[in-house]
């Protein structure tokens, strides 16, 4: 360190050390800021993504349980429990089969704890134990409210099921799905209900199976603010509106994040809302836990800064030592070191001329530089693709050196105004292989760049198989001229591809953006417009201005058109149905309906038609599942293909309905019996046994014939006829209710009143008053 004895050297070294300390400090600070901002963003995104994954997993499980509840109602023994009047022995046999069925059902999965049945008609309850007539425990208090529930299924808040009735009762938390029987019968007409009890602890495991120990506190809330599931079982079933955090979650958007103090600790609250159940998954993470990666990064950067400063100080001393030596000694020392280095050693090293040796060393360096330039040239296409991909996705780090990078890879763009076009080859399935498709896309990008760079600046890359992204840039402020230029380039490109490649392409043009950071927004919009190929057809140019401002009212208006198609299915008019389908799709095309809305409308039409076919008697397994319909629709590229697909499905429904009705119409005997019932419905002797003796048909065979023809049972049919006659008498006169009951076949007026209210929702007196009021209103309007 003898060099530091000189005062000027000391000052120089000190100044260099201060400058290096400042540089290292600034680099460390900027690195910390960049790293922490990115980590905070990724941490927040990761937590929201984890909650979305949990929501998707829970939704799949609940949808499967919902499907299984529908399958339960299709079981013959379950139907017999709701519908048939069984004697004691038949009832015991049915109970035994139900016990076995539900035992297998519960043991087959890990989520369902038990299944309960209740018949509103027979006032009977089943829960895996002998039947209970009218005896409903506190655990089963869902039965009465659901009888009048305006819907077909309901998710109950988490409740406790009593496992034993000893002095030390044991309870189990369950989440219950209640579904009506039959599936689409409204209040007053449903015969019973099934309740599927789901284990709350198994449901909670869905929240914690993310293999991530830093999730914090997790809560599952229903739409009314009650805790469905939580690690703290004392909170299960509690109303959380009193909690400031949970109240803010319940009043917030469908998903979001905010800061709050939880248990006296500053925390971050993340939440998402399930689109299927409306439940909210809430994750509360302490800020200390959330910021742990930031602390680690900070400490690492401090260590690196100290090391860099130490190395920089040492290098400063060494450079200063070399700098203040005579120039020839510097060259001699460098030459000596270069000669010793194996990379730059030469056989004819001149030991007497250090400058010659130094020149040889420089020649080696230049040769290495040429090889490096060659490598860069070979790597340019990959570098160009990577740079443009970042611009087209979500480019955050626009800095001063981006222009340098663009020039290095041969990309020329102005910096202010940009338009992105997305190009896709039509009928890609007709192209022989993915390699050929890639070659077509490569050629398209080259042609696009030549067309653009002839008058402006731009770039193009292959986005994915059969799709290319093209960036146009401008250096003036004439937005209207820019749009016209983009349309002209798109038209020339389309014609060139059709003329030289013998292929057609569809081009989507995004809106103009004014910053390089917003290029991805124009690209995203161009991809959205490209989807409208389904409506406008292939070989088209679609701009953002072509997209309609679609509203929910327009959706309902277009969906209302399907009622006429459903009517044609019911009357088996296939020709009229085909005409209606064509007119409907013409209306969709003329209205420029979004492709996703079209697919949604088609799925709802087919599901609506499937319900009609199922109600008429077509077997459910003969109808196309919604999942298969969605997968099929994704394969089509034009409305014409979708229209043909819809027509074929609906025509198949008509064929199946026609076959079903034809089989029914063959049964003349049951028609004769039904006419007899309509004529003698008021007879007190009217029953299956009585009809069996009158027509010499066994009771069991007569019951089966009746169900096959009408889709229901004899008792319901007889009750409907009697009640309809009673309604006519009540509305048309002022006779006594007892007399009316006897005239339609009921000796017991209480039984008549109970059955009348069950079917109509009103007592006979209430019904008469309502009909009289309606008649008075009609007379007032006439006057």
Q: From residue 370, how far is each of 66, 112, 137, 381, 660 by CA, in Å?
A: 69, 71, 89, 19, 83
| HEC per residue, 375-422 | HHHHHHHHHHHHHHHHHHHCCCCCCCCHHHHHHHHCCCCCCCEEEEEE
In a domain, 239, yes or no: yes
pLDDT at residue 661, rounded to an integer: 67
- Neighbour-count burial for 147-158, b at 16+ CB within 10 Å, e otherwise: bebeebbbbbbb
Q: Are residues 82 and 195 in the same domain?
A: yes
Listed residue (215, 244, 239, 242) closest to 227, CA to CA: 239
Strands 171-181 and 159-162: antiparallel
| CA–CA distance, 206 with 311 (Å, rounded to integer) | 52
C-alpha distance from residue 288 to each of 36, 40, 281 (Å): 14, 13, 21
Q: Angle CA(628)–CA(630)–CA(631) in degrees, nearest 5?
A: 65
Residues 505, 560, single domain; the answer is: no
**Which residues face 126 on adjacent strands?**
117
Domain termination residue (choose one: 665, 692, 711): 665
Query: Beta 457-464 vs 467-474: how paired, if at all?
Result: antiparallel
Q: Answer whether residue 16 is part of any domain.
A: no
Q: Give the pair of three-digit tokens for residue 692.
A: 């069996």
Say how many domains are in the chain: 5
Q: Report if residue 3 sits inside a domain.
A: no
Does residue 432 sit within a domain? yes
- The full DSSP string for 662-693 is HHHHT-HHHHHHHHHHHHSTT-TT-SHHHHHH
- Identify whether residues 449 and 515 lie together within a single domain: yes
Q: 660 and 672, same structural domain? A: no
pTM of structure: 0.38
Co-location of 558 and 575 in the same domain: yes
What CATH number corresponds to the domain at position 227? Answer: 3.30.450.20
Q: How far is CA 598 from CA 30, 553, 605, 630, in A?
A: 50, 14, 11, 12
745 and 717 Cβ atoms separated by less than 8 Å: no
Phi, psi of 179 (to 5 degrees): -135, 140
pLDDT mean for each 10 residues of the chain (783 residues): 48 72 76 68 79 86 87 85 80 85 84 87 73 52 79 83 68 87 80 88 76 68 86 83 85 86 85 87 82 70 76 67 54 59 53 56 69 67 79 62 68 85 83 81 86 85 83 86 86 88 88 86 84 72 68 61 78 82 80 74 78 68 58 73 83 79 65 85 85 85 80 83 87 84 86 87 88 79 66
Residues 503 and 458 placed together within one structural domain of the fold: yes
- Both 143 and 113 in a single domain? yes
* 246 inside domain: yes
Asked if 497 and 525 sit in the same domain, the reply is: yes
Place of tokens 């007409």: 189
Domain extent for 156:
74-203
Alpha carbons 460 and 457: distance in angstroms, whole number = 11
- CA–CA separation, 453 and 472 (whole Å): 9
DSSP 501: I
* CA–CA distance, 369 with 556 (Å, rounded to integer): 68
Same domain, 679 and 719: yes
Give the CATH number for residue 680.
Answer: 1.10.10.60
The answer to whether 746 touches 726, Cβ cutoff 8 Å, is: no
DSSP strand pairing (505-509 vs 541-543):
parallel
Instruction: Give residue 356's pLDDT.
Output: 60
Q: Are 731 and 768 in a shared domain? A: yes
Cα(733)–Cα(755) distance, integer angstroms:
21
- Which among 290, 315, 335 is the end of a domain? 290
Distances (CA, A) of 655 to 38, 617, 618, 661: 61, 12, 10, 10
Asked whether residue 18 is assigned to any structural domain, the reply reads no
Task: Give the residue from 250, 267, 290 where a domain finishes.
Answer: 290
Task: Catalogue the long-range contacts made by 102-110 (C-beta closer than 8 Å, 24 or more residues apart).
Answer: 102/128, 103/128, 105/68, 105/72, 110/199, 110/202
The answer to whether residue 25 is domain-embedded is no
Residue 137 resides in a domain: yes
Q: Is the dihedral of CA 105, 110, 113, 116 positive or negative?
A: negative
Q: Are residues 617 and 559 in the same domain?
A: yes
CATH number of the domain enclosing 448: 3.30.70.270
In degrees, to the nearest 5, what angle opens at C-alpha 146 toward C-alphas 141 and 152? Answer: 145
**What is the per-residue pLDDT for 283?**
87
End-to-end C-alpha distance for the chain, whole angstroms: 120
Q: Is 735 found in the same domain as 673?
A: yes
């Amino acid at each position: 360190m003898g060099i530091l004895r000189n005062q000027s050297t000391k000052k120089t070294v000190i100044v260099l050390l201060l400058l290096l300390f400042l540089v290292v400090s600034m680099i460390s600070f900027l690195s910390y800021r960049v790293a922490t901002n990115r980590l905070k963003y990724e941490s927040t995104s990761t937590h929201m993504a984890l909650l979305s994954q949990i929501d998707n997993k829970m939704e799949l499980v609940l949808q499967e349980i919902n499907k299984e509840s529908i399958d339960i109602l299709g079981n013959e023994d379950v139907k017999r429990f709701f519908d048939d009047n069984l004697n004691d022995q038949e009832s015991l046999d049915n109970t035994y089969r139900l016990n076995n069925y539900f035992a297998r059902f519960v043991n087959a999965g890990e989520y369902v704890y038990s299944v309960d049945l209740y018949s509103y008609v027979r006032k009977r309850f089943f829960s895996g134990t002998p039947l209970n007539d009218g005896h409903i425990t506190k655990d089963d208090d869902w039965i009465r409210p659901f009888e009048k529930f305006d819907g077909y299924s309901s998710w109950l808040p988490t409740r406790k099921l009593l496992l034993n009735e000893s002095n030390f009762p044991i309870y189990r938390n369950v989440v219950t799905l209640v579904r009506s029987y039959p599936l689409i019968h409204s209040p007053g007409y449903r015969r019973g209900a099934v309740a599927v009890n789901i284990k709350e602890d198994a449901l909670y495991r869905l929240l914690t199976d993310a293999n991530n120990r830093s999730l914090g506190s997790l809560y599952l809330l229903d739409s009314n603010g009650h805790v469905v599931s939580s690690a703290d079982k004392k909170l299960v079933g509690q109303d959380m509106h009193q909690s400031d955090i949970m109240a803010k979650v319940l009043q917030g958007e469908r998903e979001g994040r905010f800061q709050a103090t939880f248990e006296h600790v500053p925390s971050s609250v993340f939440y998402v809302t399930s689109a299927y159940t409306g439940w909210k998954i809430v994750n509360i993470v302490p800020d200390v836990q959330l910021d742990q990666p930031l602390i680690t990064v900070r400490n690492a950067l401090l260590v690196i800064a100290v090391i860099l400063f130490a190395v920089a100080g040492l290098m400063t001393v060494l450079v200063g030592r070399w700098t203040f030596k005579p120039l020839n000694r510097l060259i001699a020392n460098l030459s000596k070191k270069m000669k010793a280095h194996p990379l730059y050693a030469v056989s004819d090293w001149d030991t007497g001329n250090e400058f010659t040796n130094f020149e040889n060393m420089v020649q080696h360096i230049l040769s290495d530089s040429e090889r490096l330039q060659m490598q860069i040239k070979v790597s340019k296409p990959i570098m160009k693709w990577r740079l443009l991909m970042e611009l087209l996705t979500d480019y955050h780090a626009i800095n001063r050196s981006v222009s340098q990078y663009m020039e290095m890879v041969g990309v020329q763009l102005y910096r202010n105004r940009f338009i992105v076009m997305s190009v896709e080859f039509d009928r890609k399935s007709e192209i022989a292989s993915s390699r050929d498709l890639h070659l077509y896309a490569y050629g398209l990008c080259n042609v696009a760049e030549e067309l653009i760079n002839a008058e402006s600046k731009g770039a193009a890359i292959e986005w994915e198989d059969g799709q290319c992204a093209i960036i146009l840039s401008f250096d003036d402020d004439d937005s209207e001229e820019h749009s016209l230029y983009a349309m002209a380039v798109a038209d020339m490109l389309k014609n060139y591809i059709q003329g030289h490649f013998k292929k057609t392409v569809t081009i989507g043009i995004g809106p103009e953006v004014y910053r390089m950071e917003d290029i991805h927004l124009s690209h995203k919009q161009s991809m959205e417009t490209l989807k409208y190929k389904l409506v406008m057809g292939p070989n088209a140019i679609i701009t953002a201005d072509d997209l309609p401002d679609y509203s929910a009212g327009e959706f309902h208006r277009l969906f209302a058109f399907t009622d006429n198609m459903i009517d044609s299915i019911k009357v088996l008019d296939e020709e009229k149905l085909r005409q209606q389908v064509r007119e409907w799709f013409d209306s969709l095309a003329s209205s420029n309906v979004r492709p996703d809305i079209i697919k949604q409308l088609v799925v709802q039409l087919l599901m609506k038609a499937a319900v009609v076919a199922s109600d008429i008697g077509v077997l459910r397994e003969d109808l196309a599942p919604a999942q298969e319909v969605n997968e099929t629709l994704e394969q089509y590229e034009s409305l014409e293909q979708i229209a043909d697909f819809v027509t074929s499905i609906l025509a198949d429904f008509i064929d199946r309905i026609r076959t079903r009705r034809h089989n029914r119409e063959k049964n003349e005997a049951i028609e004769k019996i039904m006419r007899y019932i309509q004529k003698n419905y008021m007879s007190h002797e009217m029953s299956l046994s009585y009809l069996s003796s009158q027509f010499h048909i066994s009771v069991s065979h007569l019951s089966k014939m009746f169900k096959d023809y009408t889709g229901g049972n004899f008792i319901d049919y007889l009750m409907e006829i009697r009640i309809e006659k009673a309604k006519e008498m009540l509305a048309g006169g002022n006779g006594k209710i007892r007399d009316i009951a006897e005239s339609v076949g009921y000796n017991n007026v209480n039984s008549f009143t109970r059955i009348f209210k069950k079917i109509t929702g009103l007592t006979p007196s209430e019904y008469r008053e309502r009909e009289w009021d309606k008649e008075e209103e009609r007379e007032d309007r006439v006057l």
